[in-house]
Amino acid sequence: MNIPFCRPTIEEDEIKEVVDSLKSGWITTGPKVVRFEEEFKNWAGGKVSAVSVNSATAGLHISLKCLDLKPGDEVITTSITWPSTVNNIEICGATPVFADCDRDTLQILPSDIEKKITPRTRAVIPVHFAGAPVDLDEIKALCCENHLTLIEDAAHAVGTRYKGRLVGEDSEFCVFSFHPIKNITTGEGGMILCKSEENARRLRLLRFHGISRDAAKRYQRGSSPQYEVIEPGFKYNMLDIQAAIGLHQFKKLERFNERRRELARNYFELLKDVPEVMPLLPPKYPHTHAWHLFILRLDLNAVTVNRDQFITELQEEGIGIGLHFPAIHLQHYYREKYGFKKGMLPNAEWNSERLFSIPLYPLLTEKEQEKVVETIKKVIKRRKR
Ligand SMILES: Cc1ncc(COP(=O)(O)O)c(C=O)c1O
């Protein structure tokens, strides 16, 4: 690719910190993970616990495990998301129920969540999509009225604000991702913010085999190697090597997000006379966008090819392209198991056939942005109906 879809910003301080960990004799979960969690907690205002994990997928899994879901329980979520949001509901033995999203923002619609609530509903997992927040006040009110747990999938939303409040600052469960494509990275990794101390304790158990002490404490000098299995858990702990990267990435979050906002503004300007591709719109309620993704929807009436062919041609011209996301209710497993068909989520399906993401990351240059847009125009010209 001439212009890759993703390029993480790794600078000298991240590299030095990783080398420091490698030379220190302690590379798994240890003091740097503890520091990273503390800094994350303080950044979020200090009222929530921060529990690190080795991916947002793991974070979603153990958050759902805290609900002790039973067969027949339902969890409402969006279809335009990464598979793990939905797969984890299935893996925990519950039934995913889909609410449609807004056609222009791709944020889950509180009005459709309300319609999908039944006596079996236990939780709602909205996705703060592409770096913009969902309509949290509306969704929280629905959860409160109906005694549902709110698990926010904030994989795209490190630094996003909703009506002035940081996403995660007072959440029941709020799960962030540090995958290399995300606004900050730890290689792979994730963080759960959660306001109940009891849930935080359970999350800490579940992320490390369900035993009562994690590796750092067990092997510290002077502490005993004994442990107790409280309940079967998983191996989802973050390494100090990962936290070493995260500690420095975290310091740069505002710089990175500001650069993303600048790049997003440039794209809007460059694309304003290209009606064949329609950017996602920011939500109307007050918010600060973290611009994790810049998503376009192809006007299928304007060109002679479908979205898949269109993005193949962009890729052949050297532009890295992402798909965030094909509707999951129409993927093999969910179609087969639940008999889901086209027509059940009109806005999600409309977008699913048209959307694609173009490069957006702090290292992207203005010249590269111009090249991306020129290439889009070139392919449109070639394929104009
Ligand atoms: C909306 C959403 N949720 C969850 C995840 C999972 O994140 P991770 O790769 O850290 O497991 C992703 C990853 O892209 C995502 O986009």
Closest residue to atom 7 of ligand 1, CA basis: 56
Task: Please state whether beta strands 149-153 and 161-162 pair in parallel, antiparallel, or not at all (unpaired).
Answer: unpaired
Share of the chain above pLDDT 70, in %: 97
Residue of 54, 79, 82, 167 to mutate, ligand 1, most atoms within 8 A of C-beta: 82
Average pLDDT over residues 312-334: 98
Fold classified for 254-382? Aspartate Aminotransferase, domain 1 (3.90.1150)
Ligand 1 midpoint to CA 155 (Å):
5
Q: Which two tokens stand for residue 154?
A: 């904030």
The length of the chain is: 385
Residue of 57, 89, 181 to mutate, ligand 1, most atoms within 8 A of C-beta: 57
Ligand 1 midpoint to CA 177 (Å):
6
Q: Which residues contact 226 (CB under 8 A, 6 or more apart)?
A: 218
What average pLDDT does the structure give for the chain? 96
Fold classified for 12-252? Aspartate Aminotransferase; domain 2 (3.40.640)
Question: Which of 213-222, 321-330, 334-343 is least confident?
Answer: 213-222
Q: Is the pTM of this model over 0.85?
A: yes
User: In ligand 1, which atom is closest to the CA atom of 129?
Assistant: 1
DSSP H helices, the chain, are: 12-24, 31-43, 56-65, 83-91, 110-116, 136-146, 197-206, 215-219, 240-251, 253-270, 307-316, 332-338, 346-352, 366-382
pLDDT band with cut points at 50, 70 and 90 for residue 341: very high
Residue 216 has pLDDT above 60, yes or no: no
Ligand 1 midpoint to CA 236 (Å):
15
User: In ligand 1, which atom is closest to the CA atom of 190?
Assistant: 10
pLDDT for position 226: 81
Ligand 1 midpoint to CA 30 (Å):
24
Q: Which two tokens stand for residue 75?
A: 């969890």
Of 259, 245, 256, 238, which is closest to residue 13 (Cα–Cα)?
A: 245
User: In ligand 1, which atom is closest to the CA atom of 178?
Assistant: 10
Residue 213 has pLDDT above 90, yes or no: no
pLDDT for position 225: 78
- 60-76 per-position pLDDT tens digit: 999 999 999 999 999 99
Of 176, 103, 110, which is closest to residue 140 (Cα–Cα)?
A: 110
- 114-128 per-position pLDDT tens digit: 999 999 999 999 999
Ligand 1 midpoint to CA 87 (Å):
11
DSSP for residue 330: G
Q: Kindly report, as residue ranges, where domains of CATH 3.40.640.10 are found in the chain.
A: 12-252
**Annotated active-site residue in 140, 182, 272, 284:** 182
Buried b (16+ CB within 10 A) or exposed e, 21-38: beeeebbbbbebbbebbe
User: In ligand 1, which atom is closest to the CA atom of 81?
Assistant: 1
Residue 217 has pLDDT above 90, yes or no: no
- Our answer to whether residue 384 is catalytic in this structure is no
Q: Kindly report, as residue ranges, where domains of CATH 3.90.1150.10 are found in the chain.
A: 254-382
d(CA 112, CA 31): 44
Residue of 167, 177, 207 to mutate, ligand 1, most atoms within 8 A of C-beta: 177
Ligand 1 midpoint to CA 356 (Å):
17
User: In ligand 1, which atom is closest to the CA atom of 189?
Assistant: 10
- 15-34 per-position pLDDT tens digit: 999 999 999 999 999 999 99
Residue 37 has pLDDT above 90, yes or no: yes
- 260-318 per-position pLDDT tens digit: 999 999 999 999 999 999 999 999 999 999 999 999 999 999 999 999 999 999 999 99
d(CA 285, CA 368): 31
The ligand 1 site (C-beta within 6 Å) comprises: 55-57, 81-82, 84-85, 127, 153, 155-156, 177, 179, 190
